[in-house]
Structures are given as C-alpha cells and as structure tokens.
Structure 1
Amino acid sequence: MSALLTIEHMKTDIGQYKVLHDVSFSVPQEGVFVLLGRNGAGKTTTLRSIMGLWRPSPGSVRFREEDITGLHTADIARRGIAYVPEDMGIFGGLTVAENLVLATAGGTPEEGRLARIFELFPAIEKFWTKPARALSGGQKQMLAVARAIIEPRALILIDEPTKGLAPAIIDAMADAFAEVAKATPILLVEQNFHFASRLGTNVAVIEDGHVVHQGAMADFVADRALQERLLSLSA
C-alpha cells in the first residue's frame, strides 16, 4: 500500500533560524502516526510546513501521490487535510455551535456527523449554545478536534492535544482519538509518551531538525534503551 503522506528531505528556515535540516518520513493510509521529540526538536515546524504555513526549501510534501509543496494553506486544506494547532485556534467569542458551523463547508453540519461528534465528545452537545471561551482546556481541545472532523477528512494533523490537561481528560481523549482513527488517519505530535504509545501504530523521532528514527510504535515501546537515548525517557 502506498503512503498517504510522504515528506522527503524537508528543510525549513524561520527567519535567521534553521529549524528543520533533513526531515523525511511516510504516513500510512490508516492508523495514528506519531511524531516524537524533545522540546524544540522541530515537530510543530514540521506540521506547519506540511500545511503551507511555513514554506520548506528544499524538500517535498506529497499527499496521495500529488506534490503539494508550496501550495497555499487553503488549497492544502481543500485536499482533505485538517490541522488542529497547539493553541487549538477556536473562536472564544463564538458559541460551540458557531465554531462548528464555521468549519462546515455548506454552513450546516451534517446530522449524522454531528451525532457522531456528540457521541465522541459529549461536552460539545452539553455546551452547544455556550461561548467557547467558557469551556475548560480539555473541552476546548475536544471542540478543536470536533471542528477538524465535522467534514470528511483524509488526514488530520494534531499538535500537542494533551498539553496541560488532567489525566482523566487525557484518558477520555485517547478513547475518542482511537475511534476517530478508525475512519481517518492521524498525524499526531505529542510529548506525553504514555498517550502517544497507547494510540500510535507508527512513530518517527525528530532530533535537532532531523528524523533519527522511524518504525512501528510497538517496537519503539519495547526498546527502552532507544527511548532513553532519543527522548531521555527512563523505565
């Protein structure tokens, strides 16, 4: 099976800073692909470069065998790639319902998809008419993911979804993400190794702007010496 998304020799500079030096990996057409690495390794820059928010040069991004390198972000999104940034990007002054309507192509959420979102994230239905700023951190994250899946997507990029969340919320989110991934592949950037290893089917590790490891998540979880070397994790 060909890869859904292929990154080859991506290099991204932000102003005078050279952030990505040589990033290459392939995301399969199913499951959760996890991008791991220490703080500042280049994980968020990789997602933003895929989405065209920052332009890699040189390097290439191929999606469904099409070269999308250099396309505008809106054009990339129209090809079925959704992006949930680390800051979630929700509109706090709008209601939960209005946030979802804005993410819907036709202006009206499809009933079946909306019912599925309520099933995955009950808080969305509970706070439907409330302003998004009134939600807790975990509920805002759920809303951000709900916006990403309110329309059919081919791939979802999610950046640090568990940051600052309570363990009980993280567990609930892991269950929801596992359900989402049954229908839509996810490229996940995450610092919480327990969360990442619970969800991930494949993994790549970035260090100083380079991919230094790529393989099956199960193999990475079993290799504690490799975890310690690449992520400073201890048993």
Structure 2
Amino acid sequence: MTLLSLNNMKTDIGQYAVLHGVTLDIPEGGVFVLLGRNGAGKTTTLRSIMGLWTPTPGSVTFRGADITGLHTADIARKGIAYVPENMGIFGGLTVEENLILATDKGRFDQARLKRIYELFPALEQFWTKQAWSLSGGQKQMLAVARAIIEPRALILIDEPTKGLAPSIVAAMAEAFREISQNATILLVEQNFHFAKSIGRDMAVIDDGLVAHAGTMADFAADTELQERLLSLSA
C-alpha cells in the first residue's frame, strides 16, 4: 500500500528552482532510501514533505489526504516525524527534557520509553545530562528517539550517519531495522553501504527530478547504474 505520494512537486528556494517536478510513491513499511549527489534536492524533498517549504505547483498526499501547504505542526500531528541533518536537539536541555518536548501530552508512555532504552542504551545512561555534552553519535540517537517517542507512521531522516564512527553506524542500522517494523522510514543518505544494508526500496534524485526508482536489491546489483547516477566509481 502507498503511504506517501509526491506528485509533480516543484519547490523554489528564493530565486532558485530546486525541485523540478518530483513524482514518487513511498510504500508503507520498511526503509525507503533517497540517494543522489550533493545538491540534487534530497533534503529539499524532505523539507517540502514536512511543510517547511511549500511546493508550487505539486502536491503531497499522506494516507490518501492532501497535506500540501499545511503547517508543519499539523503535518506532524498526522503522524509524520522529521529528523533533520543538524539533528535539531536542544543542547541546553537534558536528554529527558528533549524527549518530553517531543511527547504529545508532556509525559512518557513507559512502554515506548523502555523500547527507546533498548534501542539506544546510552540515552538511559545519560538521562540527566545536557544534550550538548553528548557525543555526535549520542546526539543522533537522541534526535531519532525524539521522532519515535510517540507513535508515528512515517519518519523522515536526513543524513543520520554523517561523521559517525563505524560502530555507531552499525548500531544505527540495527535500530532502523527495528523501527521500520512498525513505521515507515524515508531516509536521505550518502553512505551507500549503510543505505543498501537497510533499504528495501530506493530512488535517486538528480537535478531536482527522480532519475531512477526501484528496489534496493536491484539497484545494489547494478554497478553500471550506480556509477552513472551516483559516480560511485569515483
């Protein structure tokens, strides 16, 4: 079943046209990966879905309802979470306070909190520490934990492995596999090894358009296509 549909989505940022007509269907469940060169429009696609920028023209449909032009907070209430590339955590607040801010009613569902502890044990260990004092990997764990502290149908995650140590990347991959059993993840990622290890479906964004879409297994097996669309041989 299709969870999210992007139809001819065009987004301008100031005087610059970034997306030129992105059309894409995101199926429900699993991890869907957006690949592409730097500046291709991947982050703009996520931000347009989340209502931070409004596509004109074009539309975004979530669970059959048009959410184009809605306020970001209203889009979030419909069951979409966003983990930006800069993580968006509050450095002066503790781990606990960061997570409380992401709850709907200002209190934790203990079952979900326990699940987060299981996924990211460091967050329980540093529960009362201010977020600025965490390592880069721990900050990324906190950013993802905020996105799943309430039930969400779709989680948009932008470049989660950037600058992280290999051991943290491996732990993040395992966490994403677990999370995607109960929610759909739309992931922007430059680390192709990481992307192909967890992605079920994929698309390549190139110059503001979808250059290719299909299964990750098929794309990972086609080195010529990878080299042409992503310059992986370089």
Pair in the same fold by TM > 0.5 = yes
Letter in 2 for 1:148: A
2:114 pairs with 1:106:
no
Q: Aligned partners of 2:13, 2:218: CA distance in 1, in Å?
A: 34
Q: What is the CA distance between 1:134 and its match in structure 2?
A: 0.4
Question: C-alpha displacement at 1:194, in angstroms?
Answer: 0.5
**Alignment partner, residue 30 of structure 2:** 31
1:115 offset after TM fit, Å?
0.3
Matched, 1:51 2:65: no
Paired residue type of 2:109: E
- Structure 2 counterparts to residues 103-182 of structure 1, below 5 A: 103-182=102-181
Alignment of 1:177-196 (within 5 A): 177-196=176-195
**Where does structure 1 differ by over 2 angstroms across 4 or more consecutive aligned residues?**
none
Residue 203 of structure 2 corresponds to: 204
RMSD: 0.8
1:90 aligned partner: 89
What's 2:66 paired with?
A: 67
1:218-233 alignment, distance < 5 Å: 218-233=217-232
Structure 1: runs of 5+ lacking an equivalent: none
SS in 2 for 1:4: strand
Partner amino acid for 1:110? D
Say how many residue pairs are matched: 234
Tell me the alpha carbon deviations over residues 154-189 of structure 1, each in whole angstroms, 9 at most, x when there is no partner. Answer: 100000000111111101100011100011110000
Secondary structure of 2:60's match?
strand
Specify the SS of the correspondent of 1:54: coil
- Whole-angstrom distance in 2 between the partners of 1:73 and 1:88: 16
- CA separation in 2, counterparts of 1:77 and 1:52? 9
Post-superposition Cα deviations, 1:63-89, rounded to whole Å, max 9, x if no partner, equal 000000111101100100000000000
Letter of the structure 2 residue corresponding to residue 157 of structure 1? L
CA distance in 2, matches of 1:196, 1:24: 21
Counterpart CA distance in 2 for 1:22 and 1:206 is: 11
Give the superposition deviation at 1:106.
1.3
**Which residue identity does 2:107 align to in structure 1?**
T
Superposed displacement of residue 22, structure 1: 1.4
Amino acid at match of 1:202: D
Deviation at 1:234, TM superposition (A): 2.4
**Matched position secondary structure for 1:33:** strand
Structure 2, gaps ≥5 residues long: none
